[in-house]
Amino acid sequence: MDFWDELFGTQPDPPVAVTLVTGAAALLLVLSGEPWRLARNVITIVHEAGHALVAVLVGRRLRGITLHSDTSGVTVSRGKPTGPGMVLTAFAGYVAPSLIGLGLAALMIAGKITLLLWVMTALMLAVLVMIRNVFGVVSVVLTGAVLVTVSLVTSPQVQAAFACLVAWFLLFGGVRPVFELQAKRRRRQARDSDADQLARLTRTPGLFWVAMFVLISLGAAFLGGMWLLEPVIAR
């Protein structure tokens, strides 16, 4: 009973300094070189989870997820190759980190820090079931292990700081891959990207879909950042 009370209960907000420091750390990580390449694997997991979740919601049959060491990934589902369901499935990947980050920011300001951590853990478990390669399994297990360890072993203060860092990282980390995508498209290195698949499905220029990804990711980062900074602004 104590677990359920803690899971759905309200925890204190992290100190203002923690919110600012974790936000700065997440931004520096996203803007970095090699550290970003490693951390980007988490963004890829969430990206592919977005494809998978929407595929299931629109009635497609999910076949599996593959994650690669170059931070790319593939989600395979079966169903009608055209139509709204396929469009939504293709669209979901690049916006998933930003929208999930926005949801986590909402949980943070509501004081649902424990729930936030376990929601992310449940997401990792759901993805793990569908992973079809060794690198993917290792990546998801390690990410899930960190979440479980923080949730079960650390103090409420550490949990709050970590949850804030995760929310910031997904908000900022959802933006950079969109610009990386367009850079690859300019070099003609991403002919089968989500944007180009959407272009073929809808007969709309791929640049339009990249612009949509940009608007949503930047909008989520701005709104989620305002929510996380609310205690700072209110002072």
DSSP, collapsed to helix, strand or coil, labels residue 88 as helix
CA nearest neighbour of 227 among 121, 111, 123: 111
Give me the pLDDT at residue 188, please.
86
Here the contacts of 185-190 (C-beta below 8 Å, separation 24 or greater) are 185/210
Measured distance CA(174)–CA(127) in Å, rounded: 18
Compute the half-sphere exposure of residue 12: CA atoms within 13 Å on the CB side of its CA. Answer: 8
Give me the pLDDT at residue 1, please.
46
What residues contact residue 50 under an 8 Å CB cut-off, 6+ apart? 92, 93, 95, 96, 97, 99, 100
Give me the pLDDT at residue 195, please.
95
List average pLDDT for each run of 10 residues in the chain, which is 235 residues long. Answer: 64 86 97 94 96 95 93 92 94 96 92 87 92 95 94 89 95 97 89 92 95 97 94 68
Segment holding 143, helix H or strand E: helix 134-153
Give me the pLDDT at residue 176, please.
97
Give me the pLDDT at residue 6, please.
64
Q: Is the pTM of this model over 0.85?
A: yes
The burial class, CB within 10 Å (0-12 / 13-18 / 19+), for 52 is buried
Give me the pLDDT at residue 2, please.
65
| Residue at token pair 């569908």 | 130
8 Å CB contact between 95 and 213: yes
